[in-house]
């Protein structure tokens, strides 16, 4: 059985999304709303070849 342990949030939730190889975005209910703008930004940056060389994978988990 896989388990996930989470500690307190530190800093802004999307602070390091663009500076890592793999980003995991998680939210439940209305908690996914902040991630929609991050996903939209990733989409536009990828389609316009505007950075994001290091971000290779994004996992979006909706609970």
**What whole-number percentage of the chain has pLDDT above 90?**
8
Q: What was the pLDDT predicted at 32?
A: 86
Angle at 46 between CA 32 and CA 21, to 5 degrees: 70
**Confidence (pTM):** 0.67
Q: What was the pLDDT predicted at 9?
A: 66
Q: What are phi and psi of 61, to 5 degrees?
A: -115, 120
Count of beta carbons in the 10 Å neighbourhood of residue 13: 15
Confidence of residue 59 (pLDDT cuts 50, 70, 90): very high
**36: which 2 tokens?**
């929609």
């Amino acid at each position: 059985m896989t388990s996930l342990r989470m500690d307190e949030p530190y800093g802004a939730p999307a602070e390091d999304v663009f500076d890592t190889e793999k980003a995991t975005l998680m939210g439940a209910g209305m908690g996914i709303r902040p991630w929609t703008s991050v996903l939209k930004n990733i989409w536009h940056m990828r389609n316009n070849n505007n950075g994001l060389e290091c971000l290779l994978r994004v996992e979006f988990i909706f609970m």
